[in-house]
Amino acid sequence: MASTSDAGDVEESRTRLCEEFAGLAGTDSGVAQCYLAENDWNMERALNSFFEADMEKVFEEEWISEQEAPTKKHKVEEKAPATRIDLTVDSPSSSQQPSEEDDGSSGLTLITWNVDGLDTENLAERARGLCSYLALYTPDVVFLQELIPPYVQYLKKRAVSYMIIQGSEDGYFTGIMLKKSRVKLLESHIVAYPTTQMMRNLLVAQVTLGDVKVCLMTSHLESCKGQSGERMKQLREVTRQIHEAPDDANVLFAGDTNLRDSEVAAVGLPPAACDVWERLGRQEHCRYTWDTRANSNKSVNYVSRCRCRFDRVFLRPAGRPSAPRLAPDHMALVGLEKLDCGRFTSDHWGIYCSFSATATAAADDAHT
């Protein structure tokens, strides 16, 4: 028979799980308790069950709406063709491997974005907004955080010119999208964070753009001020992976790091790596990616609204002199416009970056 203290521990543990579930799912403790109990108090299975049940209905309504109103949709596209391109209309070569002519000499472009899939309000329209930005910018690589399974299924149907690599199949997770006409996937794997309490990990993909070899990494590091210790532990693992990547490959890490500058200073980046925003001159217009003064998607009860640089991009150029090296050219924030629903694509701004490819190390050495 379980002792009174054991029963108390179980109750305390389950209360804590309910609170965590409610916070992640944006629901109340009663709903949290139902989903957790139905899934043997397994957080990942409970979250996955919740989001599948909720979002399948949302996206199903989206498909029905699109099927029933093709004329209206066509008229909208005529008014704003630059932002309403249907990604199901793929380029002729996008379903194939990159051609020999596409040698990567033009460099690489990327978008990284926490799309806030945990917020189910207007999510179908916000997912459509993301697709509009992908059509507008046509990045070679897209790093996404806070994806959920129905969101991924939506992207697979709309963004058919991209291959999608997932950081998990359950709950919420990260993803990497690769433009099929430009990027060739060599292999991908997931690096676990052993002590995470929020189902976080590091997603890694080895790719090539012609003769430019790139190791892509994305992660959503532990959230909240109180998780600083775990977040820095995860950053140490990220920096280790960057440092140990093959020296003939460029390494690009991008994601929602939740990092504070003091935490980065305490851990440090590998000697050859840089923070792209800093390398490009710390431009103020793209400094804050979490800005509740300007972004109204979340109801913030803080005395003063927050402006933080949570989303970051790190670059470690290839170390081998004969290997083509990437160098940052440009950075800008995306997602600054409200959608028709009156909300933004996400509570985070996305980051767009472009990089040029140089044949030798000489050009990049001038910056170090």
Report domain extents, the chain. Answer: 4-71, 108-365
In the prediction, which pLDDT does 95 show? 40
Q: 35 CB contacts (<8 Å, ≥6 apart)?
A: 21, 46, 47, 49, 50
Per-residue confidence (pLDDT) for residue 92, from 0 to 100 = 36
For the chain, how many helices (H) and strands (E)? 10, 14
d(CA 335, CA 209): 27
Question: Do residues 114 and 311 lie in contact, with contact meaning Cβ atoms separated by under 8 Å?
Answer: yes
What value, to the nearest 5°, has the Cα angle with vertex 151 and ends 150 and 157?
Answer: 90
- Check the CA dihedral 215-220-222-228 and report its sign: positive
CB atoms within 10 A of CB 247: 14
Task: Decide if 4-71 and 108-365 have a common fold.
Answer: no
Render the burial of 105-137: b for 16+ CB within 10 Å, e for the rest: ebbbbbbbbbbbbbbbebbbbbbbbbbbbbbeb
Which residues form the catalytic set? 256
CA distance 158 to 152: 10
Cβ neighbours of residue 281 under 8 Å, at least 6 residues apart?
none
**254: helix, coil or strand?**
strand
Cα–Cα dist 145/129, whole Å: 16
**pLDDT for residue 186:** 98
The SS3 assignment for 198 reads coil
The domain over range 108-365 is classified in CATH as 3.60.10.10? yes
Q: Which residues of the chain have pLDDT under 70?
A: 1-8, 26, 48, 51-105, 300-304, 360-368
Please tell me whether residue 174 adopts helix, strand or coil conformation: strand
- What pLDDT score was predicted for residue 143? 98
Place of tokens 């402006």: 307
Q: What is the pLDDT of residue 139?
A: 98
Amino acid identity of 274? C
Q: How far apart are CA 228 and CA 93, in angstroms?
A: 45
For residues 276 and 279, give the distance between their C-alpha atoms in angstroms, rounded to a whole number.
Answer: 5
Q: Which residues 6+ apart lie within 8 Å of 41 measured at CB?
A: 14, 17
- Cα–Cα distance for residue pair 205/239, rounded to 1 Å: 16
240 contact partners, CB below 8 Å, separation of at least 6: none
Question: What is the per-residue pLDDT for 362?
Answer: 47
Amino acid at 101: E
Cβ–Cβ < 8 Å for 222, 231: yes
| H helix runs in the chain, sequence order | 4-25, 29-38, 43-68, 70-79, 123-137, 149-158, 228-244, 261-267, 276-279, 362-365
| pTM summary value | 0.77
Strand partners, 344: none
Return the pLDDT at 74: 36
Whole-number pLDDT of residue 120: 87
d(CA 16, CA 11): 9
Q: In terms of Cα–Cα distance, which of 152, 97, 106 is closest to 130?
A: 152
- The torsion angles phi and psi of 188, rounded to 5 degrees, stand at -140, 155
Distance CA 172, CA 92 (A): 33
CATH of 4-71, one of 1.10.1060, 1.10.40, 1.10.287, 1.10.8: 1.10.8
Tokens of 321: 């002199």
The answer to whether the CB of 251 falls within 8 A of the CB of 272 is no
